[in-house]
Structure formats: structure tokens, C-alpha cells
Amino acid sequence: QVQLVESGGGLVQAGGSLKLSCVVSGHTFSDYIGAWFRQAPGREREFVAVISQIGATIYDTNSVKGRFAISRNNAKNTLFLEMNSLKPEDTAVYYCAARDGVVIDRRLVFDYWGQGTQVTVSS
């Protein structure tokens, strides 16, 4: 079955950077749209960014555009989220997700999810 495993989370000071990785197994990742979501304590899970099979991207403009970058390495079945200029409000559990399809949209429903990785940004 398809499995997604995130890594790269941790504790960082405000203004710092982290790069999250998500390794996909059980299926050829190049077939899938990939995405990152996050969930802060007491809040609903929210969309961060999505990337098509060939690298087209959509970001949550209000919160992360210009600071975060989603990318993928299909040969290594890996999805990335590079996060720069981190703020305390970026503190959350970050989840990667995947699904098939041809059109990316922030409202897509994803079929496969990772277990999440904690990102904590101190002020």
C-alpha cells in the first residue's frame, strides 16, 4: 500500500529555516500530485502548498508564499517543503499528502497522508 513518511521537523528560532522531506513508497510518486498541510494546536488542518507531477505549484498566499517552497524529486520518490523566515505562527504539525489526478487545486481531497512532523518556532 502507499505510505508517506515525513522527516525534518524540529525546533527552530524565529527567522530560521527548516526543510521537510516526505518519502513515498508503495507506488510511483511521479504519478501523484503532492501537497503539504499543517495543523496548529486547537486549529483545523490547513492547506500549505501543492505541486503537480511536473512541478506546477500553488501556495497558500496569505501565510506562506514567498517564504516556503514546495518541490519534488520523482527519481527519489520524495516531496519537499523548504521553509524560510519562520515565524512562531508557523508552529504546527506538518503533513504531506498525495493523490492521483491531473489538475492541482488547493481544494483537492487527498487519499494518502503521512503521520506528521512537528515544527516548533520559538520567538
Q: What is the pLDDT of residues 41-89, one digit of tens each?
A: 999 999 999 999 999 999 997 888 899 999 999 999 999 999 999 999 9
Write the CB contacts of 88 (distance below 8 Å, at least 6 apart in sequence).
14, 121, 122, 123
Exposed e or buried b for every residue in 54-91, given b needs 16+ CB within 10 A?
A: eeeebbbeeebeeebbbebebeebbbbbebeebeeebb
Would you state the pLDDT for residue 100?
95
pLDDT digits (tens, 9 = 90+) for 78-91: 999 999 999 999 99
Would you state the pLDDT for residue 41?
92
Statement: residue 24 has pLDDT above 80: yes
